[in-house]
Amino acid sequence: MAVVFPKGFFWGGATAANQFEGAWDVDGRGPSVDDHFMGGSVDTPREITLTIDPDKLYPNHDGIDFYHHFEEDIALFAEMGFNMFRMSISWSRIFPNGDDAEPNEAGLAFYDKVFDCLRAHDIEPLVTLSHYEMPYHLVEKYNGWESRELIDFFVKYCETVFDRYQGKVTYWLTFNEINTGTSSLGAMMSTGLIKGYEGPASGIEVTPQQCFQALHHQFVASGRVVRLAHEKYPQFKMGNMDCFILSYPATCDPADVLANQQEMDRMNWYCSDVQVRGAYPFYAKRYWREHGIELKIEDGDLQDIADGKVDFYTFSYYMSGTVGTHGVEQMQGNMAMGGKNPYLESTDWGWQIDPTGLRIALNEIYARYQIPLMVVENGMGAYDTVEEDGSIHDPYRIDYLKRHVQAMGEAIDDGVDLIGYTWWGPIDLVSAGTGEMRKRYGFIYVDKHDDGTGTYERRRKDSFFAYQKIIESNGTEGLE
């Protein structure tokens, strides 16, 4: 196959404010949900604390200090050839408590500088409005998105940043991996259902009623925000963002095929059907009934959802899983997981590597929605070693990158309208699932460690040059 990426294809990287900005209490920023999560590891879950204990280590507080390194980092992204950079705005930098009357000017000014810097390097920003975070005050007072009141707070926050950055940002995503909110695991960070909770993140139990009601509030908020954008800022392009966990039936037993179909409906289609088609899917009613969910839907909610259809579909893709009815051994994940697949290898964190699955996912999504697609997260967390001369050789990451770029090329050749690719964590950052720094994703190494030490020095890994070559040739070279 001759890989042909369309002219103007977006190549770049993706990040989240809470995982890399640091400066958690600087210039008027309020604490966010993530600031209450301590570091963990591949086998030790992150602990959540009710208050910030000064004697404990909270890796998100300092991140990799992008706040003070953004010019250097964006210059490195430009050197790799990025023409798109996905980042999120920290809600609590703009509204420190979430329900404040006025925004924090210092927070707004920070993102002005970042967007100006990106523009100066001809890099298009792709901005996530809420990436696994909200002001912690909204958790304490309202239990996050369980409360309807969050809709107005979120809309106000979006109005503020739309107005401020209308000349600087065109591409927006409402909620990161919104579909992880369909389970307890994802409800911690994505919908903030942790009011009063202290203990291991894995110990949280949230009922399906709470999860799906919180999601309903997010859908209404997203709908209102997308409508507002379309009415007031016709130049804006609005997208959803789902965590696509492709799953295969564990066997060809029809019971497994059905179980997998139902899992795909819950995990991958429920939220995107709402955000792309503007209505709850046909299978929702039965799902709600069988899981004891009685949604409180107010007058106007379904119209808000109908008016909020997105312009393009974005998703993260890391792995695939299996679903079966005969006892399937589970792989590890962060906010989502699935069963093991004997045909696939895994990363050191147990995530199954499946580039062909990306081609399958792209085809399935495009067949269903027929709107432009972007892969806005894809990458592999790995242990990196800094050699004595300071170099970092990461052939495993290069291999993962090439195979996934090839799969995207195949999908484009299949006829899929894929318009962009942003690698997760082009620069090392704090892992969302485990809170580690040693789970490194970057093409750029950052000297920051799990005990809190480090100089924050940046270094180019071998993969930096591999990605540079791919981008330079628009995906025609560097894949051998």
- Residues labelled as active-site residues: 177, 377
Query: Closest by alpha carbon to 129, among 78, 94, 167, 181?
Result: 94
Among 335, 361, 380, 466, binds ligand BG6 (CB under 6 A): 335
Task: Provide the pairing of β-strand 373-377 with 313-316.
Answer: parallel
Please tell me whether residue 246 binds ligand BG6 under the rule CB under 6 A.
no
| Binding positions for ligand BG6, 28-67, rule CB under 6 A | none
Please tell me whether residue 431 binds ligand BG6 under the rule CB under 6 A.
yes
* Binding range to ligand BG6, per CB under 6 A, among 247-255, 324-332, 387-395, 432-440: 432-440
Please count the helices (runs of H) and the strands (runs of E) in the chain.
15, 17
Query: Closest by alpha carbon to 110, among 75, 68, 73, 59?
Result: 68
Minimum distance of ligand BG6 from residue 438's CB (angstroms) = 11
Closer Cβ to ligand BG6, 177 or 304, answer by number:
177
CB 272 within 8 A of CB 245: no
Among 132, 175, 269, 423, binds ligand BG6 (CB under 6 A): 132
Minimum distance of ligand BG6 from residue 234's CB (angstroms) = 29
| Binding positions for ligand BG6, 365-394, rule CB under 6 A | 377, 381
Beta strands in 157-223 (DSSP E): 171-175, 199-200
* Binding range to ligand BG6, per CB under 6 A, among 66-74, 384-392, 398-406, 424-432: 424-432
Closer Cβ to ligand BG6, 5 or 175, answer by number:
175
Within 10 angstroms of residue 81's Cβ, the number of other Cβ atoms is 17
| Binding positions for ligand BG6, 154-183, rule CB under 6 A | 176-177
Contacts of residue 367, Cβ cutoff 8 Å, sequence gap at least 6: none
Closer Cβ to ligand BG6, 46 or 216, answer by number:
46
Minimum distance of ligand BG6 from residue 431's CB (angstroms) = 3
Closer Cβ to ligand BG6, 412 or 430, answer by number:
430
Minimum distance of ligand BG6 from residue 418's CB (angstroms) = 19
Distance CA 297, CA 2 (A): 50
Among 243, 358, 408, 466, binds ligand BG6 (CB under 6 A): 243
Among 213, 268, 334, 406, binds ligand BG6 (CB under 6 A): 334
Structure token pair of residue 268 = 């991958």
**Number of residues engaging ligand BG6 in binding (CB under 6 A):** 17
Please tell me whether residue 433 binds ligand BG6 under the rule CB under 6 A.
yes
Residue number of the CB atom closest to ligand BG6 = 433
- Kindly list the distances between the CA atom of residue 468 and the CA atoms of 80, 97, 215, 347, in Å, as whole numbers in the listed order: 5, 40, 39, 24
Distance CA 223, CA 211 (A): 18
Closer Cβ to ligand BG6, 96 or 433, answer by number:
433
Minimum distance of ligand BG6 from residue 191's CB (angstroms) = 14
The Cβ-side half-sphere exposure at 77, using a 13 Å CA radius, reads 36
CB 282 within 8 A of CB 343: no
Among 439, 448, 458, 460, binds ligand BG6 (CB under 6 A): 439
Minimum distance of ligand BG6 from residue 180's CB (angstroms) = 7
Closer Cβ to ligand BG6, 90 or 334, answer by number:
334
Minimum distance of ligand BG6 from residue 376's CB (angstroms) = 9
Contacts of residue 413, Cβ cutoff 8 Å, sequence gap at least 6: 1, 2, 3, 4
Spacing of C-alpha 49 from chain mean position: 23
Beta strands in 341-397 (DSSP E): 345-346, 352-353, 373-377
| Binding positions for ligand BG6, 202-241, rule CB under 6 A | none
Task: Provide the pairing of β-strand 352-353 with 345-346.
Answer: antiparallel
The Cβ-side half-sphere exposure at 227, using a 13 Å CA radius, reads 16
| Binding positions for ligand BG6, 82-121, rule CB under 6 A | none
With vertex at residue 285, the alpha carbon angle to CA 283 and CA 286, rounded to the nearest 5 degrees, is 70
Among 3, 12, 13, 16, binds ligand BG6 (CB under 6 A): 16
Q: Which residues lie near ligand BG6 (CB under 6 A)?
A: 16, 19, 132, 176-177, 243, 316, 334-335, 377, 381, 424, 431-434, 439
